[in-house]
Chains A and B, each alone.
Chain A
């Protein structure tokens, strides 16, 4: 099982993520998003924080979660690569995220992701122990 794959979109970029559990799915979606921003292999540790978000369903929660991480990237200037989902209900997510303060000499930023959109967002359990999510980003 791949963790994620990139979808073609004329103006922007889509992402499909997979996970055996929905926790793993949300972590892989976040990893997929950061792989669009930079080479995650270049990211070491040194920064950790708690993230909590609320949503009206899994789709809303996924979009809100990814947008919260984009906020951290831009306002706190950190690149992230480790996402430990501690609690995930239909309306609430709590996670510990890890990464490193952004260092332009070390981290090669590839592109700006302006936001995660609600366009065609999907979170579904396609078969037992296989979750799939799809989102599009505004680039």
Chain B
């Protein structure tokens, strides 16, 4: 098992724990972990806090090295890590984004209730399972030529919508309106293209899923109404990313930055934190390729949305608009972005790395679409399969403290081999069915590695961000059916 972490964690208040910059040579700032007292003992069980301290060593880091309450042991950055670096003198690190670039979540609303959907659940799940490719190495149903793939990398979901796979208004309900600026397909290697080209429009495997849920609890009726959510409403959550394209882009640039670091006189405590100055050719190249992968991921979730709508149209014999199937929002939780934030009273352009953390912009942010500008951005937090999800909203305090960031999900607490041991001989799909959750999975192994007890309770995670004031709960949605890769 992993070694426990013995470093200093100073309690700031019930929800904030500080790793002082004096803990370790090379730290340029303090680390800050958002967690409850109960979570801290679990967090200390492995090396995740050390990773928070390592991130604090990145040249040009602004503010603190942050970790959200779903923090767990990653490689390079911890999962749940947030760090901002400055434009001049700051670095960009592929390890601060991860291999699954723009892994993220989208929620599609319906105007259907649980009672209306329940009788059709088996059929819906079967059709969704057949129509949305999933599993290891799953391929999309459409083939895209290289010029088309380049358009996907440049224009993301917007290109897919222009090809007829979506509604015009989908675009404004996606972070970055579905296409990040600065994407340059020339920065993406042939290998990355080869790995990604057949996978557009597929869910993949691992923790990725598509889930039908019902809004069960409304915490803030005014915000729920602004988001178009009501009790008993069925919603669809899609969790996937940029597939092999993103994995290869990260692999390519990590290798390139390993070589470049000595040239720039940078040394980091963990090789997986390899980085390059934001304004260097390597740093710019990575950003351009990462933006291409992010756009690929938004295009991927857009295609899946289209097929989800088709399935519902077939089952309910009504058009998707008549079924109210509009996109609530689409968030990225593995990404680096150029954003403007106020630091010590001064506006700064920062490269915000979010690795397993979600952007949570508050009301008044000019980058939000008009209908969310007065309330703040919907923040979509998936739980593990079987325990449900939360929809939150960003707060002003998050803008001040966490560069407008919050948690991204439940976070693992159990290794895959341990989950495998504990689930041996068990009928996981049967257990979930007893709890009212139907499951279709491509692989039984994935199902066993992803058992609910392998994850932190998402409710506890969300409680911390609410109590700490960096997000507010809007609704809780209970799962009805899940498709796993």
What is A's interface to B at a CB cutoff of 8 Å? Answer: 6, 8-13, 37, 56, 59-60, 63-64, 67, 70-71, 73-75, 77, 102, 109-112, 114-115, 117-121, 136, 138-139
Contact = CB atoms under 8 A, between A and B. Distances in A.
27 contacts: A9-B73, A9-B415, A13-B417, A56-B258, A59-B271, A64-B255, A74-B137, A75-B194, A75-B195, A77-B137, A102-B137, A109-B135, A110-B443, A111-B443, A111-B445, A112-B485, A114-B99, A114-B100, A115-B247, A117-B76, A118-B76, A118-B271, A118-B274, A119-B74, A119-B75, A119-B271, A139-B416
Nearest to B191: A71
- Residue of A60, A67, A70 ringed by the most chain B CB atoms within 10 A: A67
Contacts of A119: 74-76, 270-272
A109 B412 contact: no
Contacts of A75: 191, 194-195, 244
A115 B99 contact: yes
Contact of A121 (B48, B271, B412): B271
A71 B53 CA distance: 32
Nearest to A75: B194
Interface residues of B, number: 47
Contact of A8 (B2, B247, B445): B2
Interface string B410-425: 0011111110000000
A112 B204 contact: yes
Nearest to A13: B416
B75 A10 contact: no
Contact of B244 (A9, A64, A74, A138): A74
B443 A109 contact: yes
Contacts of A64: 255
Contacts of B135: 109
B415 A8 contact: yes
B478 interface: no
B205 interface: yes
Contacts of B445: 110-111
Contacts of A37: 136
B1 A8 contact: yes
Interface string B394-431: 00000000000000000011111110000000000000
Interface string B61-85: 0000000000011111001000000
Given A10-B72, A56-B258, A112-B137, 17 more contacts: A9-B2, A10-B73, A10-B415, A11-B74, A11-B79, A12-B74, A13-B416, A73-B137, A77-B137, A110-B445, A112-B206, A118-B76, A118-B254, A118-B271, A120-B75, A120-B270, A138-B98
B259 interface: yes
B446 interface: yes
Nearest to B416: A13
Contacts of B443: 109-111
A118 B250 contact: no
B46 interface: yes
Nearest to B193: A75
B300 interface: no
A8 B417 contact: yes
B387 interface: no
B72 A11 contact: yes
B483 to A, nearest CB: 16
B205 A112 contact: yes
B131 interface: no
B248 interface: yes
Nearest to A67: B251
